[in-house]
Structure 1
């Protein structure tokens, strides 16, 4: 089995919030949306079907858990979930809170405009809300 290492682009573009069970939960630095990424802590995995059946189940569970916590923490209208990975091949699942009127609503967040980096205070506040919502 290949050792787990976080892709350098994911490390550069996000901050660790917490580790759940299978996944690292990271908050994207782009502050235009409450945008999380779940990364299974397994090396050499780029597709969901490459995970063991148990890990697939855990990923599904953790994605739902995080989506529910994000909706509770932000009051979002909609939670978008996607695992695309065309550029960053390491398996990762985006969980994004969307609201009518947010940047590029109802279009996708990818490739829209330029990132607006979330400041440290906002990052810490959102991360704390998320951790609290995960406990409820």
Structure 2
């Protein structure tokens, strides 16, 4: 079997890059810097489904993404969460939150309609992130 991204993630996210273990995605909602790490491991639903080496690699990549988000966006809070209630494929959200964002301090899920990125915004964001 080969790795395939869940249809919901394909629909809702923009591909940024592949790291050694994870696919790095940007959720297509310009209201929040919202990234998703997806380990490219067939059948993984929980972090404990990864081998010990994969878990270590995952946490290293999560820390790298978190540091990148903190340095580029300087958020008031960085939310990192693996829910999977709607999309069972293992994926972990990394969301930069600001006291001035439209959902603060509530969770971002489903609170407001999404505002997709323009192609210009995507290009600028990729350049800023150097991904």
Same fold (TM over 0.5): yes
**Partner in structure 1 of residue 76 of structure 2:** 77
Residue 3 of structure 1: how far off its partner (Å): 2.3
Residue pairs, 1:120-135, within 5 angstroms: 120-131=119-130
Gaps of 5+ in 2: none
**Partner in structure 1 of residue 115 of structure 2:** 116
Q: Deviations over 1:91-115 (max 9, x none)?
A: 0000011111101101111121111
Gaps of 5+ in 1: none
Contact 1:3-1:44 within 8 A present in 2 as well = no
C-alpha distance in structure 2 between counterparts of 1:109 and 1:130, whole Å: 22
C-alpha distance in structure 1 between counterparts of 2:109 and 2:35, whole Å: 13
Contact 1:14-1:29 within 8 A present in 2 as well = yes
- Using the size of structure 2 for normalisation, the TM-score is 0.95
The worse-fitting range, judged by mean Cα deviation, of 29-38 and 69-78 is: 69-78
Residue 10 of structure 1: how far off its partner (Å): 0.3
Contact 1:27-1:127 within 8 A present in 2 as well = no
**RMSD of aligned alpha carbons:** 1.1
**Partner in structure 1 of residue 7 of structure 2:** 8
Count of paired positions? 131
- Using the size of structure 1 for normalisation, the TM-score is 0.92
Find runs of 4+ consecutive structure 1 residues off by over 6 angstroms.
none
